[in-house]
Structure 1
Amino acid sequence: MSSLSFLKNINSFRAKVPRLCGVRRLCSEDCGEEKKGLILGIYEGENEEPVFTKAASKFNDHLSGKLFELVKRAGSDLRRGQARIFNNIDKEFWSIAVVGLGKEKLGYSEMEAIDEGMEAVREAAGMGAQVLKREGVTRILVEGLGHPEQAAEGSALALWRYQENRSRQHWKVIPTLELFDDCDAESFQRGLFKAESQNLARRLSDTPANQMTPLHFAQETVNELCPCGIKVMVHDKDWIEIKKLNAFLTVARGSCEPPVVVEISYCGAPQDQKPVLMIGKGITFDSGGLCLKKCDGMDRFRADMSGAAAVIAAIRAASALSLPINIEAVIPLCENMPSGMAMKCGDVVMGMNGKSIMITDTDNEGRLVLADALIYGQNTYKPRLIIDVASLTPGVRAALGSAASGVFCNSQTMWSQIYIRHNICSNVSLESCISFMTLPTI
């Protein structure tokens, strides 16, 4: 089955990115009724002279140099983080966004541990998409900007916004995205696939907890992955009790919402190849249990299942990109709530491996849930690699702030690969982590 046949329209999303600074608008003659927008790139030139990308230069020639003159008339050199909007200067396009890419030929920065060229493209495309959306365009054409995959990803991420609970008449129309120039269309489509998966994780994490209970999350998993040919199994409480996932059940018993365990299998390689095991923490709401969290900010803990959402998104992306690996995933889903049945400080429970666990803080439920899931997954699948994704202790945020995510890894080789790939592909400008930072393991 072609990946294009099951992927939903990537252009139904909008991002939460900062409003643009330095945006100016210049208008000329009227154009037709269709509101098409175009994103073109420009580099920082010497002596205040703009340097267009190849596609922008070609389009400027099409306009007999009009775009170049308008950019110069708009003011100072267009730097990274700035944009210029030109309305009705071409009969085909309602608005044209010229976005700053910074200096030409940027590459991987050892000091910042990031590919600045790719990041500049992702940032510029995202800014251009948002500005054009505010201009009311319904169809956006994006040039490759030297990195078509990053241009597509940045644009699609920037257009996303959670609006599931808005009245239909208040829904914002999201422009469609297309590639403008004749560069690598396959890379552009790959960027759209990646952005769609990220936006899926964002939607699941942003959904209110009463609309994303364990059963709802399991149903979303089935709806999103089964059409891709991915096997999904949903296990109820009886199955969990038979498997003796006691630590997980201890957390779940405080809520009236029934717990479930979701198993996912993606087969992109021969069956005899050992799989990668992914574990995602799926606490659909974390009140802290009897060690109740403060009311201020508790609503944000609807996203305590963001680890599970990231796992689902990663597997869907793997399927869309036809990655030649086998992936197995185990996602334990429940709520951590206070009640007469809830776990108490000082309780001792037996994990799946028969070891006893004393509960000292009911707000540390994540390690209980993940312990059983890790043991079950390792014993069942005998994986060659285990990736555990979770929002755990606030101590990581206290140590690293919002600039990085903490990583605990017992393989220096694997850590090196994760670090390099993340820093090439990260989305600094779109409110994601700047980098990973390894933390010590015992």
Structure 2
Amino acid sequence: MRNLLNCIKLEKFSRYIRLSQGNRFYSSQKVNKNGIVLGVYSEKIGDETKLILTPAAEKFNELSHGKFLSNLKFVESEIKEGKSFVFWGLHEDYQAVAVTGLGEKNKKLDSLELIDSNKEGIRLAAANGCTALKNAGVKNISVESLGDAEASAEGSVLGTWKFQEYKTKKDDIPKVNLVLEDESEYEKWNRGVIKADAQNLARKLADTPSNLLTPTIFSQQIVEVLRSENITIEVHDQEWARKENMNAFLSVAKGSIEPPKFLELTYNNGKNDKPYVLVGKGVTFDAGGISIKPSTSMDHMRADMGGAASVTATLYAVDKLKIPVNLKVLIPLVENMPSGSALKPGDVIKARNGKTICVDNTDAEGRLILADALCYSSKFTPKWVLDIATLTGAMMVALGSGATGVFTNSDHLFSILQSVSSITGDRVWRFPLWKHYLDQIAKNDAYDLNNIGQGRGGGSCTAAAFLKEFVPENTEWLHLDMAGVMGPQPDTSMPYLGKGMTGRPTRTLIEFIAAQK
């Protein structure tokens, strides 16, 4: 295919469009309106700001016989970074043209912000342009690379998706396409689409009401979503867990009529290498058990399986991208409910590795189910283990929605994770694993551990110290506390995600696995 920039005939322009592949979440309704998203940079010259067209925008201006640029001059002051403006009637194949601001060209990595401003700016610009066209009723949106086709795809797909599974009348979700400027751009675009699809899958799972996503239903849906010749799915039941001595896991499920499930997902695409292990907390609803939560915002606890959603979505993308690794994904699934059979404060249970735990607070249940899953991971002699959970409200207090908290015994792995998180725009921040916090849960005469700390504050740190007691010996390990980034989207830190649960930090996990050598 000839390069778009060498195309000189107006009627040829629409030929240089490539449709994104495999996005299962898009509407299949017939397209009746077409639009295109084009980018412009802002350059400060003295006291004035000058707009600079991207190569694709320059070509479009040429093909429109200068009408694009002449119209743009009327709204030059309105085209700011992250803002869009829609023109009509400039091209016979596109009823609408969204001009989206990219800000300054070639921004540098902000060492304080720990974020790749270029890529994040492109995600925001693509999302804003697509949203503007979507709001205008456009059904088929073509988007240029905006300087990075992968980031452009992420912003476009994340920005146009919304959770509306249970509305009688659903809004149209436009199809998003790539304006092909160069053959190499298509592979990057498709990679971005797959990662955004994966995060949208995590968003969908996390926002699904808990009566429609019990441990049993979750297991059934995963069998459908992850149907692949490279993935083996085992759904273990309560009897299997008893035989595995997973008493901590089973204790949390005692208060619910919904039976627990333990998912073991296997992806083999890395020769004979030892696997990496992902563990995701799967509490499909958390009422707190006997230590019941306040009623305010308790409905958000449908997303207490956000860790399970993110590792499921990560595996989905790893398979689609054919990343050459061996991966085990372990997901303990339960409901945490109050009843006459529920676990009680002060009860003592024994985990899979034989350690005894006094349950001082039944609302600190995530660490109990993760404890047995971490113990179970030792069966695979993993290269490393990463668990992720909406574990503590203290993490939301510490970081808000700005980043996922990380605890790890590996400087090397954290360095990789932090590096890829700056690229994805979904950052991480490291917290300590000091003995100080272990002492607050482990200095007891009658049992090995408390499930909450005995001191004041540091709730995320004592939770991580608890989990560390169940990590396989001599294994590199990361614990990610995603409570602050779960959602629903509380502010404008990632406006391209819209309302609802966020699916974070799925793209960071995907890139972390892809970065392994």
Q: TM-score, normalised by structure 2?
A: 0.77
How far apart in 1 are the matches of 2:342 and 2:26? 43
Aligned-residue offset at 1:6:
9.8
Residues 1:115 and 1:343: Cα distance change in structure 2 (over 3 Å) = same
Does residue 219 in structure 1 map to residue 211 in structure 2? no
Aligned-residue offset at 1:7:
4.0
Aligned to 1:16: none
User: C-alpha offsets along residues 25-82 of structure 1, whole Å, 9 cap, x if unaligned?
Assistant: xxxxxxxx94101000000033343210000011011111111111111241621021
Aligned-residue offset at 1:12:
4.6
Aligned to 2:389: 390
* Contact in 2 for aligned 1:266/1:326 (Cα 8 Å): yes
Aligned-residue offset at 1:113:
1.0
* Contact in 1 for aligned 2:34/2:140 (Cα 8 Å): yes
Aligned to 2:360: 360
Aligned to 1:409: 408
Aligned to 1:342: 342
How far apart in 2 are the matches of 1:361 and 1:128? 48
The correspondence for 2:26, drawn from 4, 11, 19, is 11
What does 1:203-218 align with in structure 2 at a 5 Å threshold?
Answer: 203-218=204-219
Aligned to 1:304: 304
Aligned to 1:71: 72
How far apart in 2 are the matches of 1:346 and 1:208? 31
Residues 1:416 and 1:273: Cα distance change in structure 2 (over 3 Å) = same
* Contact in 2 for aligned 1:409/1:441 (Cα 8 Å): yes
SS in 2 for 1:114: coil
* Contact in 2 for aligned 1:40/1:96 (Cα 8 Å): yes
The correspondence for 1:36, drawn from 27, 34, 50, is 34
User: C-alpha offsets along residues 385-414 of structure 1, whole Å, 9 cap, x if unaligned?
Assistant: 101010101111112222121100110011
Aligned-residue offset at 1:107:
3.3
* Contact in 1 for aligned 2:51/2:76 (Cα 8 Å): no
The code of the aligned residue for 1:297 comes to S
Residues 1:151 and 1:228: Cα distance change in structure 2 (over 3 Å) = farther
Aligned to 1:111: 112
Aligned-residue offset at 1:371:
0.2
Aligned-residue offset at 1:355:
1.1
SS in 1 for 2:409: coil
Residues 1:104 and 1:77: Cα distance change in structure 2 (over 3 Å) = farther
SS in 2 for 1:88: strand
Does residue 438 in structure 1 map to residue 453 in structure 2? no
More deviation, 34-43/105-114: 105-114
* Contact in 1 for aligned 2:21/2:190 (Cα 8 Å): no
How far apart in 2 are the matches of 1:352 and 1:78? 59
Aligned to 2:330: 330
What does 1:200-279 align with in structure 2 at a 5 Å threshold?
Answer: 200-227=201-228, 229-270=230-271, 272-279=272-279
How far apart in 2 are the matches of 1:421 and 1:112? 14
Aligned to 2:419: 420
* Contact in 1 for aligned 2:23/2:193 (Cα 8 Å): no
How far apart in 2 are the matches of 1:136 and 1:233? 44
How far apart in 1 are the matches of 2:111 and 2:26? 34
How far apart in 2 are the matches of 1:253 and 1:196? 35
SS in 1 for 2:331: strand
The code of the aligned residue for 1:418 comes to L
Residues 1:55 and 1:267: Cα distance change in structure 2 (over 3 Å) = same
Aligned to 1:26: none
* Contact in 2 for aligned 1:274/1:384 (Cα 8 Å): yes
Q: After TM superposition, which residue ranges in structure 1, 4 or more long, deviate above 6 angstroms?
A: none
State percent identity of aligned pairs. Answer: 41
Q: TM-score, normalised by structure 1?
A: 0.90
How far apart in 1 are the matches of 2:299 and 2:306? 14
SS in 1 for 2:65: coil
SS in 2 for 1:263: strand
* Contact in 2 for aligned 1:228/1:319 (Cα 8 Å): no
Is there any run of 5+ residues in structure 1 with no aligned partner, and where? 14-32, 427-432
Aligned to 1:27: none
RMSD: 1.7
Aligned to 1:192: 193
* Contact in 1 for aligned 2:351/2:372 (Cα 8 Å): yes
Residues 1:100 and 1:64: Cα distance change in structure 2 (over 3 Å) = same
How far apart in 2 are the matches of 1:48 and 1:61? 23
* Contact in 1 for aligned 2:343/2:362 (Cα 8 Å): yes
How far apart in 1 are the matches of 2:333 and 2:33? 44
Is there any run of 5+ residues in structure 2 with no aligned partner, and where? 1-18, 435-517
* Contact in 2 for aligned 1:12/1:160 (Cα 8 Å): no
* Contact in 1 for aligned 2:23/2:194 (Cα 8 Å): no
SS in 1 for 2:137: coil
What does 1:55-66 align with in structure 2 at a 5 Å threshold?
Answer: 55-66=56-67
The code of the aligned residue for 1:298 comes to M
The code of the aligned residue for 1:267 comes to N
User: C-alpha offsets along residues 177-214 of structure 1, whole Å, 9 cap, x if unaligned?
Assistant: 11113231000011000000000000000000000100
How far apart in 2 are the matches of 1:268 and 1:8? 23
How far apart in 1 are the matches of 2:122 and 2:352? 48
How far apart in 2 are the matches of 1:190 and 1:136? 27
How far apart in 2 are the matches of 1:179 and 1:336? 45
* Contact in 1 for aligned 2:40/2:100 (Cα 8 Å): yes
Aligned-residue offset at 1:95:
0.7
* Contact in 1 for aligned 2:85/2:132 (Cα 8 Å): no
